[in-house]
Amino acid sequence: MAADKQRKHPLASSFKFGFEGIAAAAAKERNVQIHLAISVIVILSGFIFSINKYEWIAIILSIGGMVSMEMINTAIERTVDMYTKEYHPLAKQAKDIAAGAVLVFAIASVMIGIIIFLPRIFAWFS
């Protein structure tokens, strides 16, 4: 019954809301901006070092996952902030866990970048 009362949006609106969310995060969130800037460098490096299609898949998944994780972290932080203005240990824990998830994905992404690019960088300098 509750699902019947929920407002349904046309598919085009769903995409519009998604793009608005991406634009808001890119415009207002420093960490998203940092990840996007690093992504440009990684993509350019991929072209410079002629990485193969499987490496591109890993890079694309890393970039998409990293930016998505930052956006989810931001959504969690904003939701927690909306519900409580004063310090609460559970609010802190929710924010810390979300930030930890971003950190785990960032470490994995860096490891993927090292595996893909470090041998090429060493070869380039030798």
- Check if 70 is active-site: yes
Say if residue 86 carries a ligand binding annotation: yes
Is position 95 annotated in a ligand binding site?
yes
Closest by Cα among 73, 60, 65 to 31? 73
Per the annotation, does 96 bind a ligand? yes
Q: Any residues with CB less than 8 A from the CB of 124 and at least 6 apart, and which?
A: 49
Cβ distance 63 to 42 under 8 Å? Answer: yes
Task: Single out the catalytic residue among 70, 74, 98, 116.
Answer: 70
Do the annotations mark residue 81 as ligand-binding? no
Is 77 annotated in a binding site? The answer is yes
Which residue blocks in the chain are alpha helix, DSSP H? Answer: 2-5, 11-28, 30-48, 53-83, 89-125
Asked whether the beta carbons of 52 and 117 are under 8 A apart, the reply is no
Binding residues for substrate: 70
Binding residues for a divalent metal cation: 29, 77
Binding residues: 29, 70, 77, 86-88, 95-96
Binding residues for ATP: 29, 77, 86-88, 95-96
Q: Which active-site residues does the annotation give?
A: 70
